[in-house]
Chain A
Amino acid sequence: MTEVNATRVAQRAASRRTALVLALVALGFFGAILVAQFYGPSMIGFAALGVAVIGFPLAAAVGRRRAR
C-alpha cells in the first residue's frame, strides 16, 4: 500500500510539473504577442516566441536532467 501511495504521489507531482510547464508556455505566448505589438519591432515578438517554443522546453529538459 505504501508503494502504491508513493507511486501515486510521484504521479501527482509529475502531473503538476507537466501542467505548470504547459501553463507557462501559454502565458509566454500571450505575453509575447502583447510585447511584440507594444514595442513595435517584430524581432521582439519573434524572439519571445522563439524562447517560448525552443527555449522553454530546453530549460525544462535541462532542469529535469539536473533533478535526477
Chain B
Amino acid sequence: MSTPLTLADDAEHMDHPTGLLRWLTATNHKDIGTLYLFFSFTMFLVGGTMALIIRAELFQPGLQIVQPELFNELTSLHGLIMLFGAFMPAFVGFANWQIPMMIGAPDMAFPRLNNFSFWLLPPAAMLLVSSFFVPGGATAAGWTLYPPLSVQMGPGMDMAIFAIHILGVSSIIGSINIITTILNMRAPGMTLMKMPMFVWGWLVTAYMLILVMPVLAGAVTMLLTDRHFGTHFFNAAGGGDPVMFQHIFWFFGHPEVYILILPGFGIISEVIPAFARKPLFGYRSMVFAMCAIGLISCLVWAHHMFTVGMPVAGQLWFMYASLLVAVPTGVKVFNWTATMWKGSLSFETPMLFAVGFIFVFVMGGVTGVILAIAPVDIQMQDTYYVVAHFHYVMVAGSLFAMFAGAYYWLPKWTGHMYDETLGRWHFWLSMIFFNLTFFVMHFLGLAGMPRRIPDYPLQFADFNMIASIGAFGFGLTQLLFLYIVIKCIRGGEKAPAKVWDGATGLEWTLPSPPPHHTFETPPVIA
C-alpha cells in the first residue's frame, strides 16, 4: 500500500532541474509521460510520412516515385516504427501520466528506471530511421522480418535487430515498473477489483509484454547469429527451419495486437461512463474479459500462418481459438453499449472518439472473425483485405482510443481546456478520411490485390486512388491534432479540477494541472 512522503523527502525533490536538464534527468512520472507522448507523436509523424510515400506511389499504376527496393524498405519500417516507436510508447506515456494518479501513488515504483526506460527509445528510433542510409538500405523483409530474406540482407537488418533489442528491453523494464507500481503502491482501500479499468488494461498488458517480448528478443537474436555467427536456426540450407521463425515471431506478434488494444479498451471504459453519466456496466465482467483476451491471445498465433502447410488439427485449433477471442471482446462492446443505454449522453470530443472507436473497431473485429476461418484466410492471405483489417484494429482501434484519452485528460495535464470546435473537426475529418483510406482496401483485397507491391494491374486503379486521397487527408488531419495540443498547452480557458461532470476517479480530485508531486499523503478509498 502507498506510503506518504515526508517533508524531508519533499524538500529533497524541490530542487528538480529546469530546461533541458529537467527532461534528460526526469524521474517524475508526469514529465516522463510527457516525454513518451511527444516522442511517440514524433514517430507517428515519421511512420505516417512513410505511409504517405507508399500511398503516393500507389496513387496510380506504374512506378512513379520510389523504386521497388525502397518501397519494400518503406513498408517494413512503416510497420516497425508505428508499432514500436509510436503506438507502444504512446500507451506507456498514458500509463506514466495516469496510473500513479489513478491509484493514489506519489510516483512510479522505480523512477530512475522509468527515466532509463524512456531514454532507450531515441537511440533505437535513430537506428531504425538511419538504416535507410547504410549500404543496402533499411530492412525490406516486412515488419515481420521473415527469413530467408532477413538472413540475407545488409547492415540495415542488423540495425533493425539491434533496435528491436533495445526497444524490447525498454518495454520489459517499463512493464516491470508498471506491474510493481500497481501491485505495491495502490492507495489504502483500493483493492484490485476497485481499480479503474485503464489500470486493469495496463496490468494485463504489462504481464503480456513480459511474456512475449523476451520471445521476440530470442527470435531476433537467433536471426543475428544466423547472419553472423554460422548458426542455422532458420536457414533451410543448413538444416534450419524458416517456418519455426514464423511460429516464434507470431507467438509475440499476435499478443502484440492485444498489447496495443487493451490499454485502449481501458481508456474507452473510462471515457464512456463519464459522458454517459452512469457507472460502467458490468465492471467485473469487463475485468474478466480483459484477462480472457490476454490469455487467449497467447494461444492463437498460427492463424497468421494458415498457408504454411500445418496439419488440419492445427488449423482447426487455431481457427476455433481465434474465433473464441470474439466472445470476451463482444462482452466489452456489449458493456460499453449498455453503459450508454439510457445514459445522460453528451458528445464532447473524447466521447465522439470513443463512440467512433466502437464503430470502427467492431468493423475491424468482424473482418478479424472472417480471417480467422482457415479456408477463407487461405484465399485472402497477403491481400489488401488483411491490410484493411489490421488498420481498422490498429489505427481506428488503438489510435482513436488514444485520441479519446488525450482529449479526455488533456485539460487535466495542461490546466487548460482544448478547443472543442477544432477537436470535433479533428474527429470528423479523421473518421471520414480513415474510412476513405481503408474501407476500399477490403474491395481491393477481395478482388485479389496483393499487399507490399509498388505496382498493380489497371483494374485496381480507382480504389487505390481513393485510398491515397483518403490517406493524405488523414495524415494532414493529424497536424490539426498537433495544433490543438500546442494551443491547449500554451493557454486557453482554465480547466477545473474535475473537468467532466460525469468523471469519477482519484485523478479528478487533484488540481489541473496536477502539482509536481501528487498524493504525498495517500488518499483512503472507502
Using CB atoms and an 8 Å cutoff, list the residues of chain A in contact with chain B. 1, 4-5, 7-8, 11, 14-15, 18-19, 22-23, 25-34, 37-38
Taking the closest CB of chain B, its distance from the CB of A44, in whole angstroms, is: 14
Other-chain contact of B110, A5, A19, A30 (Cβ < 8 Å): A19
Using CB atoms and an 8 Å cutoff, list the residues of chain B in contact with chain A. 1-4, 6, 109-110, 172, 175-177, 179-180, 183-185, 210-211, 213-215, 217-219, 221-222, 233, 244, 248
Task: Indicate whether A15 sits within 8 Å of B110 (C-beta atoms), given known contacts A26-B210, A27-B214, A30-B218.
Answer: yes
Taking the closest CB of chain B, its distance from the CB of A57, in whole angstroms, is: 12
Please report the C-alpha to C-alpha distance between residue A26 and residue B210 in the assembled complex, in whole angstroms: 6
Please report the C-alpha to C-alpha distance between residue A19 and residue B177 in the assembled complex, in whole angstroms: 7
Report chain B residues within 8 Å CB of A5. 6
Taking the closest CB of chain B, its distance from the CB of A20, in whole angstroms, is: 9
Task: Indicate whether A30 sits within 8 Å of B214 (C-beta atoms), given known contacts A15-B180, A18-B183, A37-B222.
Answer: yes
Please report the C-alpha to C-alpha distance between residue A31 and residue B40 in the assembled complex, in whole angstroms: 30
Contact call B214/A26, Cβ cutoff below 8 A: yes
Please report the C-alpha to C-alpha distance between residue A7 and residue B6 in the assembled complex, in whole angstroms: 12
Contact call B214/A29, Cβ cutoff below 8 A: yes
Contact call A34/B3, Cβ cutoff below 8 A: no
Interface of B, secondary structure class, is helix
Report chain A residues within 8 Å CB of B179. 18, 22
Report chain B residues within 8 Å CB of A11. 1-3, 184-185
Please report the C-alpha to C-alpha distance between residue A23 and residue B3 in the assembled complex, in whole angstroms: 24
Please report the C-alpha to C-alpha distance between residue A42 and residue B6 in the assembled complex, in whole angstroms: 54
Contact call A1/B214, Cβ cutoff below 8 A: no
Other-chain contact of B109, A15, A29, A33 (Cβ < 8 Å): A15
Contact call A26/B213, Cβ cutoff below 8 A: yes
Please report the C-alpha to C-alpha distance between residue A14 and residue B47 in the assembled complex, in whole angstroms: 40
Across the two chains, which residue of chain A brings its CB closest to B219? A33
Contact call B214/A4, Cβ cutoff below 8 A: no
Contact call A18/B6, Cβ cutoff below 8 A: no
Residue among A7, A15, A34, A37 with the highest chain B CB neighbour number at 10 A? A37
Report chain A residues within 8 Å CB of B109. 15, 18-19
Please report the C-alpha to C-alpha distance between residue A27 and residue B214 in the assembled complex, in whole angstroms: 7
Please report the C-alpha to C-alpha distance between residue A22 and residue B218 in the assembled complex, in whole angstroms: 17
Report chain A residues within 8 Å CB of B219. 33
Contact call B214/A37, Cβ cutoff below 8 A: no
Please report the C-alpha to C-alpha distance between residue A34 and residue B216 in the assembled complex, in whole angstroms: 11
Report chain A residues within 8 Å CB of B213. 26
Report chain A residues within 8 Å CB of B233. 37-38
Please report the C-alpha to C-alpha distance between residue A26 and residue B2 in the assembled complex, in whole angstroms: 26
Please report the C-alpha to C-alpha distance between residue A14 and residue B75 in the assembled complex, in whole angstroms: 44
Contact call B184/A14, Cβ cutoff below 8 A: yes
Report chain B residues within 8 Å CB of A27. 214
Taking the closest CB of chain B, its distance from the CB of A47, in whole angstroms, is: 16
Across the two chains, which residue of chain A brings its CB closest to B222? A37
Across the two chains, which residue of chain A brings its CB closest to B175? A22
Report chain B residues within 8 Å CB of A4. 3-4, 6
Please report the C-alpha to C-alpha distance between residue A37 and residue B221 in the assembled complex, in whole angstroms: 11
User: Can you report 23 residue pairs joining A to B where beta carbons are below 8 Å apart?
Assistant: A4-B3, A15-B180, A15-B184, A15-B185, A18-B109, A18-B179, A18-B180, A18-B184, A22-B176, A23-B172, A25-B211, A26-B172, A26-B176, A29-B215, A29-B218, A30-B215, A30-B221, A33-B215, A33-B219, A33-B222, A34-B221, A37-B218, A37-B233
Residue among B3, B110, B244, B248 with the highest chain A CB neighbour number at 10 A? B3
Please report the C-alpha to C-alpha distance between residue A37 and residue B233 in the assembled complex, in whole angstroms: 7
Taking the closest CB of chain B, its distance from the CB of A64, in whole angstroms, is: 13
Contact call A33/B248, Cβ cutoff below 8 A: yes
Taking the closest CB of chain A, its distance from the CB of B27, in whole angstroms, is: 15
Please report the C-alpha to C-alpha distance between residue A22 and residue B209 in the assembled complex, in whole angstroms: 11
Contact call B210/A37, Cβ cutoff below 8 A: no
Contact call B4/A22, Cβ cutoff below 8 A: no
Taking the closest CB of chain A, its distance from the CB of B167, in whole angstroms, is: 14
Report chain B residues within 8 Å CB of A1. 6
Across the two chains, which residue of chain B brings its CB closest to A28? B214
Contact call A23/B218, Cβ cutoff below 8 A: no
Other-chain contact of A37, B176, B184, B185, B244 (Cβ < 8 Å): B244
Please report the C-alpha to C-alpha distance between residue A4 and residue B5 in the assembled complex, in whole angstroms: 8
Contact call B183/A34, Cβ cutoff below 8 A: no
Report chain B residues within 8 Å CB of A30. 214-215, 217-218, 221
Please report the C-alpha to C-alpha distance between residue A8 and residue B210 in the assembled complex, in whole angstroms: 26
Taking the closest CB of chain A, its distance from the CB of B523, in whole angstroms, is: 16
Contact call A7/B180, Cβ cutoff below 8 A: no
Report chain A residues within 8 Å CB of B184. 11, 14-15, 18
Please report the C-alpha to C-alpha distance between residue A14 and residue B175 in the assembled complex, in whole angstroms: 16
Q: Which 3 A-B pairs have the closest CB atoms?
A: A33-B218, A30-B214, A29-B214
Across the two chains, which residue of chain B brings its CB closest to A25? B210
Residue among B4, B211, B219 with the highest chain A CB neighbour number at 10 A? B211
Taking the closest CB of chain A, its distance from the CB of B508, in whole angstroms, is: 25
Contact call B211/A29, Cβ cutoff below 8 A: yes
Report chain A residues within 8 Å CB of B211. 25, 29
Report chain B residues within 8 Å CB of A29. 210-211, 214-215, 218
Taking the closest CB of chain A, its distance from the CB of B36, in whole angstroms, is: 20
